[in-house]
Amino acid sequence: MHHTKASASTNSRRLLASGALAASQLLLFTLPAAAVTADDPAPATGETRTAEHARGSAQMGEGILAYEGVQGVPADTRVARTRGVDVSSHQGNVAWKKLRKSGVRWAYVKATEGRSYRNPYFAQQYVGSYRSGMIRGAYHFATPDTSSGAAQADYFVKRGGAWSKDGRTLPGVLDIEYNPYGSTCYGKSPRQLVGWIRDFLNRYEKRTGRDAVIYTSTNWWKKCTGNYRGFAATNPLWIARYASTVGPLPAGWKWHTMWQYTANGRIVGDHNRFNGALDRVKALANG
């Protein structure tokens, strides 16, 4: 998946919130740097995005913010909800100790996109969050129009998305949302998209022994998968909605596991709430 984010990213987020599209977004070893295009705002135009949005630059929730916008400020609640963040190359080197001191206890880091992009800041972000005392995991930004679900799951697992039962590593996340590079549903029918998602999830489970988390928005899921309910029994739901409440969930899920509720949090923009206390975050990490 949230203000003191890097200035370019902050400007992009503000543009997104006003209806424009921003065109840029361990393994315990340093990954080689990949080219990241600087922010280059381009207008959102209904069902498609312009080709100026560089491949690899997508970040969790940017399409949701562009298409669905901000619908309200999250209400305070007495229910135990553990704070977390999600980051990508747009945040650069993250001040993890400062975040943890502010109350953040878990983090997800973008590892890969498609089959050609690796986050050049992955090592600092993934290892840094771990060293600060957080529970952390990795996410993959799906591009179903570029290669198969199984191929992208393999790419993700090999480049940061693997899981280890150390009590501090969360299962990988499939970020499946509005296409930042073209047609909203990646030029696929609901049946084709569901098949693609299933292939990714099955391969990830086979490679890691864990069921991946699905990150999406209810509106996108209804539009592009036909509100498919078949993954709810096995895959935790991370819902994105910048509003006062989580709102309706996609079909099948009776509750959400995580909620990305704002793109304007402290230190880094994308902030989230885990639907439970810290012991439940640890339980998800432990499988």
The pLDDT value given to residue 62: 64
- Matching residue, tokens 């596991």: 257
Q: Among 1.10.10.10, 3.30.70.100, 3.20.20.80, 3.40.50.2300, name the CATH number for the domain at 7-27+37-286.
A: 3.20.20.80
Question: What is the distance, to the nearest Å, from the Cα of residue 11 to the centroid of all Cα atoms in its chain?
Answer: 20
Grouping H, G, I as helix, E, B as strand and the rest as coil, residue 80 is coil
The pLDDT value given to residue 183: 94
- State yes or no: is 177 an active-site residue: yes
Grouping H, G, I as helix, E, B as strand and the rest as coil, residue 116 is coil
* Choice among 62, 175, 211, 270 that is catalytic: 175
- Phi/psi-derived region of residue 133, left when phi > 0, alpha when psi is between -120 and 50, beta in every other case: left
Query: Per-residue confidence of the chain (287 residues) as pLDDT tens digits?
Result: 443 333 334 344 433 333 333 333 333 333 333 333 222 223 333 344 434 567 766 666 666 656 566 666 665 544 448 999 999 999 999 999 999 999 999 999 999 999 999 999 999 999 999 999 999 999 999 999 999 999 999 999 999 999 999 999 999 999 999 999 999 999 999 999 999 999 999 999 999 999 999 999 999 999 999 999 999 999 999 999 998 899 999 999 999 999 999 988 889 888 999 999 999 999 999 98
Q: Where are the domains of the chain?
A: 7-27+37-286
Alpha helix positions (H), the chain: 7-17, 62-68, 96-101, 122-131, 149-156, 190-208, 218-225, 278-286
* Choice among 86, 113, 154, 211 that is catalytic: 86
The pLDDT value given to residue 98: 96
pTM, entire model: 0.78
The pLDDT value given to residue 264: 84
* Choice among 39, 62, 154, 177 that is catalytic: 177
DSSP 8-class letter at 31: P
- State yes or no: is 86 an active-site residue: yes
Identify whether the C-beta of residue 49 lies closer than 8 Å to the C-beta of residue 235: no
Identify whether the C-beta of residue 134 lies closer than 8 Å to the C-beta of residue 166: no
Q: In this structure, how many other beta carbons lie within 10 angstroms of the beta carbon of residue 167?
A: 10
The pLDDT value given to residue 64: 62
Rg (CA), the chain: 17
The residue among 11, 14, 65, 66 whose CA lies nearest residue 39 is 11
Integer Cα distance of 276 and 54 in angstroms: 37
The pLDDT value given to residue 81: 82
The residue among 187, 117, 195, 98 whose CA lies nearest residue 156 is 117
Integer Cα distance of 56 and 37 in angstroms: 8
The pLDDT value given to residue 33: 33
